């Protein structure tokens, strides 16, 4: 085998070993020193079920908020409608009163004319 090919192959193997090895830099630099204790940190891992239930809970809260706003708007519209109806009834009564006064005035004018 050619010497240059052998060097390339050995270089490839060496780089592969370095790339795939799990070397701890602290262990290498402090060969005789005591290593730091490993900390086991517990994480708040969310399962798919919890994630889905949280999403559904948020969607429910949003839907309830929208329904409350719609209910408030509907109540305000109903109150406005009731006020408008009352105003229409009062105006119709006024019109009726004015018409009756007009008829009585016409009758009185007809009597005076005779």
Measured between alpha carbons, how far is 27 from 40 in angstroms, rounded to an integer? 19
In a domain? residue 112? no
- What value does the mean pLDDT of the chain take? 83
| Overall domain count for the chain | 1
Q: Give the pLDDT of residue 13.
A: 85
Does residue 95 sit within a domain? yes
- Rounded distance between C-alpha atoms, residue 87 and residue 80, angstroms: 11
What's the start-to-end Cα distance of the chain, in Å? Answer: 146
Model confidence pLDDT, tens digit, residues 39-54:
665 556 657 678 888 8
Within-domain flag for 74? yes
Per-residue confidence (pLDDT) for residue 65, from 0 to 100: 93
Quick check: is 113 in a domain? no
Q: Where are the beta strands (DSSP E) in the chain?
A: none
**CB contact at 8 A, 11 and 3:** no
pLDDT at 66 over 90: yes
8-62 pLDDT, tens digit each? 888 888 888 777 776 665 565 565 555 555 666 555 665 767 888 888 899 999 9
* Residue span of the structural domain in which 59 resides: 52-105
Cα separation of 83 and 96, whole Å?
A: 20
* In a domain? residue 3: no
70 within some domain: yes
- Domain membership of residue 65 (yes or no) is yes
């Amino acid at each position: 085998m050619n010497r240059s090919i052998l060097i390339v192959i050995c270089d490839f193997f060496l780089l592969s070993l370095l790339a795939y090895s799990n070397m701890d830099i602290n262990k290498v630099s402090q060969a005789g020193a005591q290593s730091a204790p490993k900390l086991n940190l517990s994480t708040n891992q969310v399962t798919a079920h919890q994630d889905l239930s949280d999403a559904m809970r948020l969607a429910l809260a949003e839907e309830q908020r929208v329904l409350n706003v719609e209910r408030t708007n509907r109540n305000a519209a109903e109150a406005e409608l009731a006020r408008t109806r009352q105003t229409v009834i009062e105006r119709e009564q006024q019109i009726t009163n004015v018409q009756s006064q007009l008829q009585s005035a016409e009758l009185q004018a007809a009597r005076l004319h005779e």
